[in-house]
Amino acid sequence: MVDSLEALAAGKALLREDAEIVLKYKDVVKQALINAVKRARSCVLRYEYVYDEIHNIIEDEDEAREVESAAWATLRDVKIDDIVVYKIYTDEDTSENDVVVVLFDEKLTHRQLKILEEVASLYAVGEYEYDVYDREDGRFYDAVTSRYKRDEVYTVLHNLVQMWTNCRSVIEELEEEDEEGGEL
């Protein structure tokens, strides 16, 4: 279920304060999401992309940190005007690999979200329980890469969202607007 940002700000005490901050800086957060989608050319984002964009927009470090922290707490199954944001938790012990799915005028089904969560759970698999494919040898080998560098997991998440949504056309529209000098 996707809640509106306004409903979060008026609702649960746990998220109310963070939601109020994001509501106050709604245009900044929306622009940060849009910029991150454009920069990654994907509607599936590592959260650090959103973090970076918030800090690029807000010059004051303390203010940027406050907005980013509130966004981190709030951007989970939430709708901000025409933007729907889902946070996919990948590991209960760390948030470093969590991803954010940003959609424009669309929602994922419960089943689609569960599939993304299952794929993303591969980030949390231990080093030697995870294999990578070597094209040259045509076989799989134990992965000795950090969880964060599991680009194939990120690529699968991206491709699933591309298949299910209009993300590709949204990105093309955003790029066209940039070429024309306009902004969303």
Q: What is the pTM of this model?
A: 0.83
Whole-angstrom distance, CA of residue 53 vs CA of residue 51 = 6
pLDDT score of 141: 76
Domain count for the chain, please give it: 1
Burial of 137 (0-12, 13-18, 19+ CB in 10 A): exposed
Residue range of the domain that includes 40 = 3-180
pLDDT score of 184: 44
Which residue numbers in the chain have pLDDT < 70? 1, 12-14, 91-96, 126-128, 144-149, 182-184
Whole-angstrom distance, CA of residue 122 vs CA of residue 126 = 9
Please enumerate in sequence order all residues whose Cβ is within 8 A of that of 178, keeping only pairs 6 or more positions apart, or say none: 38
